[in-house]
Structure 1
Amino acid sequence: MLLFINSANCQVAGFAIATVGWILTTTSMGLVEWRVWHMNNTSLFPSGPVCVGMWKVCIYHPISNYNRTKLCRHFSYRDTYLPLDIHVSQNLLLVASILGLLGRASIIFALRNASMGPSSIGN
């Protein structure tokens, strides 16, 4: 039986898809649209949407129908008002991103060894 798909092509395609997925995942970590709330009119801020992310919170102030300003504040590890799930998620996302980077490096090394052979390492 003939195989029309080369094993090396499948490995490279899998690496490319996994790399695109890792890039999109690390990019989504910086987005503030993880939680979207509506804040009622308070003495400090007018009513409007509030976007809460893993690393910062942004409050949107509508000025007109087409224009709005954005006020953002970055979280720090010293913020005691943050819920425990935000702190845990920050740490897990950071660890997952670093492990993804190490996984990319090991896959590159494995694909290099598979295509060139292990005898070219010592030379």
Structure 2
Amino acid sequence: APCIKICPTDAVSDEGVDTEKCIGCGLCVMVCPFGAMTYTASIAEKCDLCADREEGPACIKACTKRAISILDPAKVKAKNQQKFLSKLAGVYEPDQKKGGIVHVLTSQARARLVLEE
């Protein structure tokens, strides 16, 4: 059934809807060709990042494009600061996944690199 296939959290099955898994996205209601699926929300709720789920937020798992993630703001800030300071100091490190060499740039090359970004 389309509603079973489209459910990002596998909450819909032949037996019914597992309310513990359902995130209320309404996709099953939209694709049901028989109008058998309904969704009623009696109260408004704010996202709590699925605090009761051991696996973490359902939206992160369901997002096939990996556009949603949870990051530690302190780590992101530290990484960005380090990147900026490295540019100012004239140290340029290529993408670490590809391996690479640390280049110490001349002031002219350093200025060009900073201005390009």
Q: Specify which structure has the higher proportion of strand.
A: 1
Q: Which has the higher helix share?
A: 1
Higher relative contact order (CA 8 A, sep 6+): 1
